[in-house]
Chain A
Amino acid sequence: MIDLKKLTIKKAHEALVRGDFTVRELCQAYLDEIKKRDGDIHAYLEVYSDVMAQADAAQKKVGEGNSLAGIPIAIKDNMLFEGKAATSASKILQGYVAPYTATAIRKLVDAGAVLLGRTNMDEFAMGSSTENSAYGVTKNPHDLSRVAGGSSGGSAAAVAADLALASLGSDTGGSIRQPASHCGIVGLKPTYGSVSRHGLMAMGSSLDVIGPFSKTVSDAEILFNAIKGKDRYDSTSLDVPMAGKRPQKIGVPRHFLKGDGIDPEVMKAFEASIERFRSLGYEIVDIELPNIGYSLAVYYVLMPAEVSTNLARFDGIKYGLHKEGSNLLEDYLFSRGEGFGPEARRRVMLGSYVLSSGYYDAYYNKASAVRELLKDDFAKAFERADVILTPTAPAPAFKIGEKASDPVAMYLEDIFTVTANLVGTPAISIPAGTKEVEGKRLPIGIHLVSPHGREDALFELGKKFLGEDVE
């Protein structure tokens, strides 16, 4: 019997090399757990039928020096894996089968990872709870009456509930870090461009990035190193340095943590984290990010603008759902009207609005200008501090349905995470305590941001914080 609870990529790798268990046995343990618990949690939209065939192929790679050989991993439903369905949890991609494999997925497969299946998400990665999935909500493994967060809620819940050893998600405004926080695991949003977007369904192309979920920071590092790198199929991809001065100073934007929208228990866990970093020898400095109060507003102009452009490709003709009208225009109207869920429709409409003549300057141009101010703010802050620390989300996971009818309340979930996407810097969420509610212990996360290409600083701080070995 393999103890999945305590298993990490590192430990599984060592056990596979020693021959304590085979890749088949490891994968079977996860498939059994999925069978037992995913009926309640609904992390997966599909468990692949060829897991054992993949396991056999992976077994041959064990011992060749790659620590991902034989490791069972789940992927978000917006990444292409040739020959497998991929729907972005949308009805409009009903029946879509990936004609090629995304670069990040290709790298995992080449490393010998076993892909268990595709996980639930908010439709086209739009949302903070997976309630916008066309295929039902994912529940939080710590409390089934609550959301797992989103948009990569299925990928987060799968790892938290031991239904996969690790997983991939995508992050446009917080979609890896917020669910990681709500599910009590580690979630990394890498530097924009450091992981190829080739084969990732586009939401906001200047913001999207693929990143890992894992139980430890060391595992996130292993996965990031496996999927990163410049790719000829993504012209915005780049190689990141991952080296530089070791972090010593942690900046805290106190002025941004004064609002009454933050749960007192989250602040308590946050203050305790600061004390822990201090006791680990780090210096805590107060920093100012003068324009950070505008981040979410900037995001809700730029992101819908990019969404309305990217989602124009779903026309009911090239792939997916087709609804017959009496002419071509009606084919478009009916296919898109029925295929997209309410949140996707809302963002397409908002995007059309902010990009339309007469509003373009007031919204899109203004937001782009403030985005540049935010970049300046961060550049200045990184002169005083090596990383920036905040909570990941203003409160622990909320009840299913609680925010479903109020889009602005839902959007505020991303208040601490969204700026890293606008600025392009890497950021990580790591578990930092719990809040007890109705007898359930709801996880709380803290959020660290480092300069572009300095994921190494996040890994070093994260490992020390969680008491993992640091080389």
Chain B
Amino acid sequence: MITREEVVKLANLSRLKLSEEEIAKMQADMTAILAYVDKLKEAKGVDHGPVMSANRNVLREDRAPHEGGIYTDKLIALAPKHEVNKDGKYVKVKKILGSSQ
């Protein structure tokens, strides 16, 4: 059973704005899914520690993978808020420090 408070806290951690109605639906859905998932408790599995992929230590040469700047214009153009001026090309974001949060 997952509580309403837990849903609200998780929504904030997940950076999702949920309406009151969605919080109630989410609480019911997550409770049902977690009840299904709970059968894992019966399994005998022991902790193997971290699981590695078949490939280990995949490294590339320590140099630029491609010519610098070839994607810049395309990527800047994709940002919903951006500015290109005489000083450079920018993605615009709101102030991070010192806000009311």
Contacts and interface: CB of A to CB of B under 8 A. Distances in A.
A326 B101 CA distance: 11
Interface in A111-139: none
A316 B30 contact: no
B43 A337 contact: no
Nearest to B19: A337
Contacts, number: 162
A100 B71 contact: yes
Nearest to A354: B37
A369 B2 contact: no
Contacts of B86: none
A2 to B, nearest CB: 38
Contacts of A293: 39
Contacts of B36: 296-297, 300, 408, 411
Q: Is the interface of B mostly helix, strand, loop or mixed?
A: loop
Interface string A325-363: 011110111101110101001101111110010000011
A294 B43 contact: yes
Nearest to B93: A317
A300 B48 contact: no
Contact of A297 (B40, B74, B95): B40
B6 to A, nearest CB: 8
B78 A318 contact: yes
B64 interface: no
B96 A320 contact: no
A369 B49 CA distance: 8
A345 B26 contact: yes
A296 B37 CA distance: 8
A238 interface: yes
Interface residues of A, number: 66
A291 B96 CA distance: 48
A352 B10 contact: yes
Nearest to B13: A352
B55 A238 contact: yes
A229 to B, nearest CB: 14
Given A336-B15, A356-B13, A407-B33, A96 B80 contact: no
Nearest to B97: A328
A317 B46 contact: no
Nearest to A82: B74
B15 A327 contact: no
Contact of A99 (B11, B17, B75): B75
B21 to A, nearest CB: 11
Given A193-B55, A337-B16, A353-B2, A301 B79 contact: no
B16 A328 contact: no
B37 A301 contact: yes
A320 B96 CA distance: 21
A368 B43 contact: no
Contacts of A331: 94
10 closest residue pairs by CB, A with B: A337-B17, A369-B45, A322-B80, A235-B58, A99-B74, A333-B17, A370-B45, A319-B78, A332-B15, A328-B94
7 contacts: A193-B54, A312-B15, A327-B100, A333-B17, A336-B16, A349-B10, A366-B45
Given A322-B80, A342-B22, 12 more contacts: A193-B55, A235-B58, A300-B36, A316-B80, A317-B80, A317-B81, A319-B80, A329-B101, A337-B18, A363-B37, A372-B48, A372-B51
